[in-house]
């Protein structure tokens, strides 16, 4: 994975009374073990990747507890894992990034929620909504409502988060329904502490196996006529039990304030931001001692009508702090008050924006306007200029910087093997004109940014080939679909390749095989090479794993299949042109291989350190630019986009324009030189072999070359 979790694994072993210190998502991981979970699965993605990554790395300890851990091929297979809890009293937990992951899993979730569960079934959702999100802007709340899955949104406090996880299993078992716990980015990476408990070895596990096969019960199968009864059970039994449990357990929190006119109902995950905004108005301190009464909804579905009415009936108005849209909570509470003829105004959107993340600045403005409107005698807001103060700070920062802060869009890593492919594609496009490119989720989606600016659509992970199906039917020029090896195994093999072969469509598919699910932390795939640094550091030979994508394509019936190495820009260009100009009418697939540079460096770093420690010979490659030759055209930068290929002022006073320059971060991938050759750029790049602990032959060659160079200089 992207980092070692050795320290975190030790924290998972903490016993009763010991103090856990760490981030929110790892507190969830510890809470799962304290709850006696039997199996854990999921699909990695921000902000919940660490939950699965740490458990995969803690494989030996999980085996000691009898906890089965599975890194699933996609979110749908993770959701289907929870089927074990339908028939057996085994607690299961799965995790993924929402909303895209929940969309993929929705088929399995719908069936699971219809049937119901005996063992606790908990879904840890990485709620990636807001300005820092990397996905489409939707909420998990809608899925919870449509499928009748209980949804917890814990207040960002480690002790509260852990309690919610433990309560979620109890809630699931009592009401026979799956439970979602949504964790926002801020909650996942929140640092804190809580008092740990002993981990519980599950009663049904990989150690304590059951010999009793569950009885056949047609009522527990999601198939008519059982589904009609299951739908009635959702609303006649399960939701009643769930609401009673939430009341009995005190999952939601009421904070009493002194103001009589107004109150606030807030989703638990937004509580910290709300308190920050109230503190800026001097209506609260940082410990949550507030002058405004607040109902904190750690459980946002189902809502508890009696609890809400009891809390809000005596106020003039209640502000609903609910992030995103549609405003489900506001609508439900508004309808409830209308049906009960309660005169309290229920307001949310209008004072607060329909869309976007509710930061403390956004909440400050909305809450302030709401209080001023409905508590007219309350004029003692001593810091109503908070927004202006923040703006002043930003203006001062701009003045100190003497300019606007430039945007920093994400980009490929230094030496990324996917960048050479897009350099080749840029050269091809110059020769044959614009190409329709269906892009995909993954590292390669960075090619949608400058300097490449490729791609007409992104429609989901592994969906690029399916997205180009319509285009290929009417486009004179063959469209290209690009996906990574992660997207290929996640979805692309079936939804793209199988569908295209079934319909006999034309088109070009590029599979960028870097060996890992790289964008989410370089987790292993079925085709991850055995020579990766976690398996066999020094192996250089090709293995069966290296050909798994090609074998799968051949087995499915792909007739036109080529394999290239991405760093060979010339070969990539040649193969792309062959695909465009081929007389073969059908799917053409190019597997472009190149190991993720981050993984390659992790594999080489200990090898290099050991060589240097033993004072053995070690050679590394370094590239640079001869600034006397550099013309200042900078085409090399526009074709590469490498962060180590940049500009610097020329030392020649007659050269006004800056020259190209390669920084010390260069990993020696050679792309700049390849581009210079293939695009016929100026020959300003040089390549050097830096040898540590040279042998006698190296010293002799160096001496000989030096003598020859001196002769050239002498007679030049």
Token digits of residue 349: 């959107």
Q: Is 716 exposed, middle or buried (0-12, 13-18, 19+ CB in 10 A)?
A: exposed
Q: Is residue 408 part of a domain?
A: no
**Domain end call among 534, 565, 600:** 600
pTM, two decimals, is 0.86
- Look at the chain and report how many structural domains it folds into: 4
CA distance 407 to 317: 41
pLDDT of the residue at 402? 60
Q: Show which of 350, 367, 401 is a domain's final residue.
A: 401
DSSP state of 314: T
- Same domain? 567 vs 475: yes
Q: Which residues constitute the domain of residue 425?
A: 418-600
595 & 628 share domain: no
Distances (CA, A) of 94 to 43, 232, 291, 449: 8, 27, 39, 33
User: Measured in Å, how far apart are the chain's first and last C-alpha atoms?
Assistant: 55
Q: Which CATH number does the domain housing residue 684 bear?
A: 3.30.70.20
Verify that 387 and 489 share a domain, yes or no: no
**pLDDT, tens digit (0-9, with 9 covering 90-100), for 528-542:** 887 544 443 333 334
- Which pLDDT score is estimated for 404? 66
The tokens describing 292, both together, are: 């405004």
Q: List pLDDT tens digits, range 125-136.
A: 999 887 667 788
Q: Let me know if residue 495 belongs to a domain.
A: yes
Look-up of token digits 């990324």: 416
CATH number, domain of 446, equals 3.40.50.970
pLDDT digits 0-9 by tens, 152-169:
999 999 999 999 999 999
**Do 242 and 259 lie in a common domain?**
no
- Token pair in block for residue 121: 């079934």
Q: pLDDT for 33-54, tens place per residue? A: 999 999 999 988 888 888 888 9
300/354 same-domain check:
yes
Helix (H) or strand (E) holding 23: strand 19-23
pLDDT at 392 over 80: no
* Whether residue 679 is found in the same domain as residue 575: no
Q: Which helix (H) or strand (E) holds 194?
A: strand 191-195
- 470 and 572 together in one domain: yes
Integer Cα distance of 597 and 514 in angstroms: 8
Residue 461 and residue 578 in one domain: yes
Average pLDDT over residues 653-666: 88
Same domain, 487 and 350: no
**What is the share, in percent, of the chain residues with pLDDT greater than 90?**
58
Q: Specify whether 138 is located in the same domain as 109.
A: yes
Domain-embedded: residue 459: yes
Task: Tell me how crowded residue 317 is: count the other CB atoms within 10 A of its CB.
Answer: 19
Same domain (yes/no): 582, 463: yes
Kindly state whether residue 608 falls inside one of the protein's structural domains.
no
Residue bearing tokens 């590394």: 620
In a domain, 242, yes or no: yes
pLDDT tens, 169-225? Answer: 999 999 999 999 999 988 999 999 999 999 999 988 888 888 888 888 888 888 899
Q: How many residues does the chain have?
A: 716
Domain boundary among 247, 272, 300: 247
User: Do 429 and 302 belong to one domain?
Assistant: no
Closest CA to 559 of 527, 586, 535: 586
Token pair for 332: 């439900």
User: From residue 479, how far is each of 158, 441, 490, 582, 675 by CA, in Å?
Assistant: 49, 18, 22, 13, 24
The answer to whether residue 406 sits within a structural domain is no
Asked whether residue 612 is domain-assigned, the answer is no
Q: How far apart are CA 588 and CA 598, in angstroms?
A: 30
Work out the percent of the chain whose per-residue pLDDT is above 70. Answer: 92
Q: Do residues 585 and 514 touch, judged by C-beta distance below 8 A?
A: no
Identify the CATH number of the domain in which residue 397 sits: 3.40.50.920
**Beta strands 293-297; 262-267: pairing state:** parallel
Strand-pairing partners, residue 254, are 295
The pLDDT assigned to 385 comes to 60
Q: Is residue 413 part of a domain?
A: no
């Amino acid at each position: 994975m992207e980092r070692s979790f050795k320290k975190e694994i030790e924290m998972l072993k903490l016993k009763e009374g010991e103090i856990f210190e760490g981030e929110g998502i790892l507190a969830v991981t510890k809470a799962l073990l304290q709850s006696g979970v039997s199996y854990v699965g999921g699909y990695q993605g921000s902000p919940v990747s660490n939950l699965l990554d740490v458990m995969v790395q803690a494989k030996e300890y999980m085996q000691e507890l009898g906890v089965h851990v599975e890194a699933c091929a996609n979110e749908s297979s993770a959701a289907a894992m929870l089927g074990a809890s339908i028939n057996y009293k085994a607690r299961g937990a799965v995790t993924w990034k929402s909303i895209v992951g929940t969309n993929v899993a929705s088929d399995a979730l719908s069936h699971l929620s219809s049937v119901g569960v005996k063992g606790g079934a908990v879904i840890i959702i990485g709620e990636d909504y807001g300005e820092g999100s990397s996905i489409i802007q939707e909420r998990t709340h809608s899925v919870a409502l449509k499928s009748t899955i209980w949804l917890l949104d814990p207040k960002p406090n480690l002790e509260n988060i852990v309690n919610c996880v433990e309560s979620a299993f109890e809630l699931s078992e009592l009401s026979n329904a799956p439970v979602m716990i949504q964790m926002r980015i801020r909650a996942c990476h929140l640092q804190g502490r809580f008092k740990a408990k002993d981990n519980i070895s599950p009663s049904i596990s990989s150690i304590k196996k059951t010999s009793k096969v569950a009885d056949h019960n047609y009522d527990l199968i999601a198939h008519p006529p059982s589904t009609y009864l299951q739908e009635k059970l959702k609303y006649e039994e399960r939701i009643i039990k769930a609401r009673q449990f939430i009341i009995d357990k005190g999952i939601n929190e009421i904070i009493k304030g002194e103001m009589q006119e107004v109150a606030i109902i807030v989703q638990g995950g937004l509580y910290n931001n709300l308190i920050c905004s109230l503190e800026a108005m001097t209506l609260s301190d940082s410990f949550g001692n507030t002058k405004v009464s607040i109902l904190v909804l750690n459980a946002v579905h189902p809502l508890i009508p009696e609890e809400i009415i009891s809390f809000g009936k005596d106020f003039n108005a209640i502000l609903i702090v609910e992030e995103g849209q549609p405003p489900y909570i506001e609508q439900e509470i508004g309808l409830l008050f209308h049906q009960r003829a309660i005169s309290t105004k229920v307001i949310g959107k209008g004072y607060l924006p329909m869309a976007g993340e509710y930061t403390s600045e956004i909440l400050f403005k909305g809450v302030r306007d709401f209080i001023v409107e409905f508590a007219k005698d309350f004029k003692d807001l001593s810091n109503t200029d908070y927004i202006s103060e923040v703006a002043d700070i930003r203006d001062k920062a701009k003045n100190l910087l003497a300019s606007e802060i430039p945007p920093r869009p994400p980009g490929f890593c230094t030496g990324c093997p996917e960048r050479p492919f897009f350099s080749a594609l840029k050269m091809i496009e110059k020769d044959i004109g614009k190409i329709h490119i269906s892009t995909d989720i993954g590292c390669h989606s960075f090619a949608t940014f400058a300097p490449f600016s490729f791609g007409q659509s992104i429609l989901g992970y592994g969906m690029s080939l399916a997205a180009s199906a319509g285009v290929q039917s009417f486009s004179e020029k063959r469209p290209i679909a690009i996906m990574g090896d992660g997207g290929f195994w996640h979805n692309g093999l079936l939804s793209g390749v199988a569908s295209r072969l079934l319909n006999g469509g034309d088109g070009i598919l590029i599979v960028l095989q870097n060996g890992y699910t790289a964008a989410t932390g370089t987790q292993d795939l079925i085709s991850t090479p055995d020579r990766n640094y976690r398996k066999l550091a020094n192996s250089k030979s090709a293995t069966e794993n290296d050909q798994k994508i090609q074998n799968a394509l051949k087995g499915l019936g792909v007739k036109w299949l080529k394999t290239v190495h991405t760093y060979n820009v010339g070969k990539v260009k040649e193969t792309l042109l062959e695909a465009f100009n081929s007389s073969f009418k059908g799917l053409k697939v190019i597997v472009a291989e190149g190991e993720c540079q981050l993984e390659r460096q992790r594999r080489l770093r200990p090898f290099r350190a050991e060589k240097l420690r033993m004072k053995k010979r070690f050679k590394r490659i370094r590239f640079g630019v001869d600034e006397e030759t550099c013309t200042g055209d900078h085409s090399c930068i526009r074709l590469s986009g490498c962060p180590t290929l940049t500009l610097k002022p020329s030392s020649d006073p007659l050269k006004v324009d800056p020259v190209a320059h390669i920084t010390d971060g260069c990993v020696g991938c050679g792309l700049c030189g390849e581009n210079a050759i293939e695009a016929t750029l100026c020959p300003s790049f040089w390549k050097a072999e830096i040898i540590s602990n040279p042998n006698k032959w190296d010293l002799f060659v160096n001496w000989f070359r030096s003598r020859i160079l001196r002769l050239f200089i002498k007679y030049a």
